[in-house]
Structure 1
Amino acid sequence: MSPGRLSIMELKPIYDIENANSELWPLGEIDPKKAKFPCCLVWTPLPVVSWLAPFIGHVGICREDGAVLDFSGSNFVNVDEFAYGAVARYLQLDREQCCFPPNLVGHTCKHRYKHAEYGTAITWDDALQSSMRHFEHKTYNLFTCNCHSFVANCLNRLCCGGTMGWNMMNVAALVLFKGHWVDTVSILRSFLPFTLVLCLGIFVVGWPFLIGLLSFSLLLLGWFLLGTYCIKNLLDC
């Protein structure tokens, strides 16, 4: 073989990497009974917190094989064992809307250099694995570094939807407004405790309880809005 030339066997790995984005293998079916949600965002209510504010819950993101990954404790990412119960709501994302560059020139997003510096991946699972390694050295905190932070990190590595602006707020809004309920039981499990707490509180305390509950929800929402959009790096994880 003449110098400077590559053999067919040497070229094949390069060809495989460059075609990884165009040859995405088919995903399996979503199967709630087996807790398999390929390439989905998943959500479940949190004990106590969701009883007071049902729009707040625990989120995770799933691998291509459907296994759920979720940041549920300091230095710990759950694999295929969703914390706080079964999935109640899910949203499948389109891998075609993500950027899997084999090199700097191969970026399909508009954030070539920013995406490369942040950390790119050549497959969906590769991005999730990188985020797992990152969050295995993070301290969990409900108010600053939580499960939503982990999912946002994954989506930014994927440049999902052509954007790297994923954060706690838009991840939560995406699942809240576009997510699909698994079944009727999931809806009851998400809202029945809140309804019971609300009715009991009004019965025992009266209407001031409703005002207090509304204030609690507004304070939580205000904190995350302030930390995400007003005070830079406050919720950086």
Structure 2
Amino acid sequence: MMADASEADALTNDKEDCEKIDPDKSRFPYCIVWTPIPGLSWLLPFIGHMGICTSSGVIRDFAGPYCVSEDDMAFGRPTKYWRLDVSKVCGGSPEVWDAAVRDASQQYGHKMHILCCDNCHSYVALALNLMRYDGSSTWNMINLCLLSLLHSKHVSIADSLKTWLPFLLLYGVIITVTVVLNVR
């Protein structure tokens, strides 16, 4: 009887360990992850590269034409993550989550990457639509961009700086130059 209880505790602990976010290992179970795109994110810091993670935290992202990468995000390690609730998946199971991520990956592995209309955000939206996350099948790149901006957390202070510092410096220089030229 004692062995059964300790085995159940061990299984519960293993499951909890698998679902823990571990930035050092780039493991973000049930998360949407985001990283800035150099140049573009400096101008518009809410625009960046997005991926979705499996139940074990493996990152999948639509990295380019006909390419869905695994654990190698196109623009570097995630700087922000948005943890989603697996119970909001139709069926509420890790298997449904993983199947939706796998199916979206298979579909996008045969697609051309089009920056403005069929991109990494569209790939994540398809995965959420396939799992009917939060009872919805209307996820798209616009609502993902906005909701990610509102709900995601920075992985670290350094990652927060990586996201916002180039934008602040660029606009600081523009404002300074504008003020200096207008004073003369």
Aligned residues: CA RMSD: 1.7
**Normalising by the residue count of structure 1, what TM-score does the alignment of the two structures yield?**
0.65
- The answer as to 2:149 corresponding to 1:158 is no
2:172 paired with 1:181: no
Residue number among 115, 134, 140 corresponding to 1:142 in the alignment: 115
Match of 1:59 among 50, 53, 58: 50
Alignment of 1:188-203 (within 5 A): 188-203=161-176
Q: Shift of the alpha carbon at 1:100?
A: 3.4
**What residue ranges of structure 2 are gaps of 5+ in the alignment?**
1-14, 180-184
Match status 1:40 vs 2:36: no
Which letter does structure 2 place at the counterpart of 1:130? D
Query: Which residue matches 1:133?
Result: 106
Q: Using structure 2 for the length normalisation, give the TM-score.
A: 0.83
Worse-matched range after superposition: 81-90 or 64-73: 81-90
* Superposition deviation, residue 146 in structure 1: 0.6
Unaligned residue ranges in structure 1 (runs of 5+): 1-24, 102-120, 208-237
What secondary structure sits across from 1:171 in the alignment? helix
SS of the residue 1:123 aligns to? helix
Spell out, residue by residue over 1:178-219, the C-alpha distance to the aligned partner (whole angstroms, 9 max, x if none): 111111111110111111111222334x26xxxxxxxxxxxx
Please list every run of at least 4 consecutive aligned residues from structure 1 whose deviation after the TM superposition is greater than 6 angstroms. none
1:70 aligns with 2:61: yes
After TM superposition, give the deviation of residue 73 of structure 1 in Å: 0.2
User: Per the alignment, in what secondary structure is the counterpart of residue 69 of structure 1?
Assistant: strand
Map of 1:79 onto structure 2: 70
In 1, Cα distance between equivalents of 2:80 and 2:134: 20
Q: Give per-residue Cα distances to partners, 1:12-60, cap 9 Å, x unaligned.
A: xxxxxxxxxxxxx654310001100011011111110001011111111
Q: How many residues align?
A: 163
What does the per-residue CA deviation read over 1:150-199, in whole Å, with 9 as the maximum and x for residues that have no partner?
Answer: 00000000000011110001111121101111111111101111111112
The residue type paired with residue 37 of structure 1 is: F
Q: Give the residue type in structure 1 aligned to 2:165.
A: L
CA contact (8 A) 2:89 2:96 kept: no
* Residues 50 and 61, structure 2, Cα contact 8 Å, conserved in 1: yes
Q: Distance in 1 between matches of 2:114 and 2:58?
A: 24
Q: Name the larger-Rg structure.
A: 1
Q: Aligned partners of 1:148, 1:31: CA distance in 2, in Å?
A: 23
In 2, Cα distance between the equivalents of 1:122 and 1:194? 39
Identical-residue share of aligned pairs (%): 39
3-state DSSP of counterpart to 2:144: helix
Aligned to 2:79: 88
User: In structure 2, do the counterparts of structure 1 residues 30 and 122 end up closer, same or farther at CA, with 3 Å as the change threshold?
Assistant: closer
What residue number does 1:114 align with?
none
